[in-house]
Structure 1
Amino acid sequence: MTRVGGGRCVCGSLCISYLALMSTNDLIIVTARIHMKKTDEGGRKFGFASGYRPNHVFEIPENGDTLTTYAGDIQFDDQLLVEPGETKVVTVRFLNMSTIAQYMKIGQKWYINEANRTLGFGEILSLI
């Protein structure tokens, strides 16, 4: 299966996101403002589509220990892609894990990563 953007399948068959299989009780849904770094600032070279599932990091240890990352997808429906350098209000659906609950509050900021590379930042505006 070949994927582009953030989970849109181009293989021609029906593909379902793992988050789509979850019930609402399995998700924490927030409205957030995200800002993606420009390419020359270390951001992506190309934009991403709704359904993109980066790593979400709420704390970066000062001692260089391993990052704790959380699963969640970024949803929007008013444009095709979010481009590098863009700031946008979106919906983020996090998997409801016990350790993520401490971060789910209005004003909480986090890092949007691919592997250990920070591509952008998010801030929770409201809990849905």
Structure 2
Amino acid sequence: MFEMNKNYTREFIHQVCGGNKQAFLPMKNGKVVAACLRTDLNPQAPDVIICNSSASANAAGRTLSAQRDAIPVFIKTDTDAYRFAGLYAPDESFVTPLSCAPYVQNCGLTSAQVSRVIKMQRR
């Protein structure tokens, strides 16, 4: 499906996985189908995903944290270039500001702006 460390466009990721091309956690048929992460907002990616408090990010984070299947995770490297980092599945999820705080450092968001932190595990 995807080659390790190879760059893909959002259009290609969308064609293969489906979901919203603009969402960092695109969803299809009620499931998160990929993660397209920026390191300025997710400095520990692909091991940790930080969801802001917007309604869409909150809903996608809640959905992903309940899934058990691995999803392809991509890290943005340039304008419309996302490097495939591997298949990851949710391992742990944190929602309280105190439990999220250790992961929020250097992400450009305050603890109050974070709705969920999801620790991912490589599959």
TM-score by length of 2: 0.31
Between structure 1 and structure 2, the one with the greater Rg is 1
- Larger RCO (CA under 8 A, 6+ residues apart): 1
TM-score by length of 1: 0.30
